[in-house]
Amino acid sequence: MDDNDGPVETSGDYGRACAVEGYIGAVTVGARQALVFGDEPAMTTYLPAERLFLRWVAAYSEAELVAAAKRALAAEPDWDDDEDLNWEVREAVALFDSAIPGAELEPDDRLIIDLEPGQYRVRATYMKDEDNWMILVQLQPET
């Protein structure tokens, strides 16, 4: 039991998502795998041109954070070897907070990510760029 947040869920899809250690993990949900962002809750967006999920740890503005993420990618970040997995995408995916049960998701509770079906290499790293601290999660199509 966590004194600050109440009991920790240990069963079901949400419990498995909460059990992910590190920045990324995969959890089987039905016949598919869900990509899970671990660590702390963080505002997250998707930059389609970079195939990048950008997680906000600290920044003064979204524009500064996005610019810092693009600089980090241009400099070829040092991806964490422990934060690397393969993920199969069969259709567009939805980014949402795992605390909201899927059946209760409203359109404003999710961001639809239009990805080509296929296998992706997913890797993550934590980066600092001046006052911008972020977690980068990049998808690379497997050929």
DSSP string, 72-133: HHHT-----TTSEEEEEE-S-EEEE-TTS-GGG--GGGEEEE---SEEEEEEEEEEEETTEE
| 5 within some domain | no
Query: Which of 23-27, 74-78, 109-113 shows the lowest per-residue confidence on average (mean pLDDT)?
Result: 109-113
| 37 within some domain | no
Helix, coil or strand: residue 18: helix
pLDDT tens, 63-103? 999 999 999 999 999 898 889 999 999 888 888 877 777 67
Question: 3-state SS of the chain: helix, strand, coil percent to 5?
Answer: 20, 45, 35
| 22 within some domain | no
pTM for this entry: 0.84
| 11 within some domain | no
**The pair of three-digit structure tokens given for residue 39, joined into one six-digit string:** 């660590």
Domain total for the chain?
Answer: 1
- The domain in which residue 79 lies consists of 43-141
| 21 within some domain | no
Neighbours of 96 (CB within 10 A): 16
| 16 within some domain | no
Neighbours of 124 (CB within 10 A): 24
d(CA 111, CA 65): 19
| 35 within some domain | no
| 113 within some domain | yes
